[in-house]
């Protein structure tokens, strides 16, 4: 035969007993006597005071728990934001990484045409080989400063390779984007990068434009071909890709 399961203890047993005694004294009325009523009232008062103390303690604990939960939720939101930022931004420069720029280009192509600039730092391997990667990183950061100083507010800047960057221009046609690319080229050429040999840094740029419905691969491919045309022509220049309709 199985043992009977013991009932859980009643947390309010003392209060129930005090209430029962008070009810009994009340029901008996004058027959209960002054002493019995006094005892029942005293027991009821002490139980009520205990309930107040416990209630205040539980409320304080609840407030602390609510505050801790609020702080925890806030920290979780901060961590989620940090993870999202790390997933979409280049750790060295803070601009968008390749995956993020591709996603934004394709998203914009769903509802509008846009222009794309592809930039490559000229002779960057020589900089790394001659002065080391820390100097190369400082050059990359300097180029990003030039891009941010020149690019319009609507632009998205992305690092798509070691020394290669892409600028997404949603509100520009190819002519307007070419003007922006030329401003970037001049800004980099004039920037003091502080290299040990005091040499200057230049960049070659290619520009393309695709209408609504395009894809990143197409726009990037056309801009990249224009970039290499600039490299073949002597570097430190901007080349505009042919119009996609007449290409």
Reduced to 3 states (helix: H, G, I; strand: E, B; else coil), residue 166 is strand
Contacts of 152 (CB under 8 A, 6+ apart): 169, 171, 172, 180
The one catalytic residue in 163, 164, 182, 189 is 163
CA separation for the pair 62, 83 (Å, rounded): 31
User: Which long-range contacts does 14-19 make (Cβ < 8 Å, 24+ apart)?
Assistant: 14/47, 14/50, 15/47, 15/48, 15/50, 15/51, 17/43, 18/43, 18/44, 18/46, 18/47, 19/44, 19/47
Which two three-digit tokens encode residue 207?
A: 């520009």
* Cβ(150)–Cβ(184) below 8 Å: yes
CA separation for the pair 65, 237 (Å, rounded): 62
163 an active-site residue?
A: yes
Residues tagged active-site: 163
């Amino acid at each position: 035969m199985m043992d009977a399961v013991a009932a859980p203890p009643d947390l309010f047993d003392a209060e129930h007993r005090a209430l029962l005694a008070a009810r009994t004294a009340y029901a008996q009325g004058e027959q209960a006597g002054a002493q019995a009523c006094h005892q029942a009232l005293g027991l009821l008062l002490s139980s009520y005071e205990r309930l107040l103390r416990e209630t205040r303690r539980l409320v304080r604990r609840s407030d602390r728990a609510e505050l801790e939960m609020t702080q925890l939720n806030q920290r979780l939101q901060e961590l989620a934001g940090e993870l999202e930022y790390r997933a979409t931004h280049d750790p060295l420069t803070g601009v968008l990484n390749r995956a993020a720029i591709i996603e934004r280009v394709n998203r914009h192509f769903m509802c509008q045409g846009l222009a794309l600039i592809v930039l490559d730092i000229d002779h960057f391997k020589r900089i790394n080989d001659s002065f080391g990667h820390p100097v190369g990183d400082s050059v990359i950061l300097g180029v990003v400063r030039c891009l941010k100083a020149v690019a319009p507010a609507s632009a998205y800047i992305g690092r798509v390779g070691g020394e290669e960057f892409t600028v997404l221009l949603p509100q520009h046609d190819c002519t307007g984007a070419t003007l922006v690319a030329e401003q970037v080229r001049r800004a980099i050429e004039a920037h003091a990068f502080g290299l040990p040999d005091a040499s200057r840094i230049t960049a070659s740029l290619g520009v393309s434009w695709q209408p609504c419905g395009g894809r990143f691969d197409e726009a990037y491919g056309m801009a990249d071909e224009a970039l290499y045309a600039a490299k073949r022509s002597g570097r430190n220049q901007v080349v505009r890709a042919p119009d996609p309709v007449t290409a």
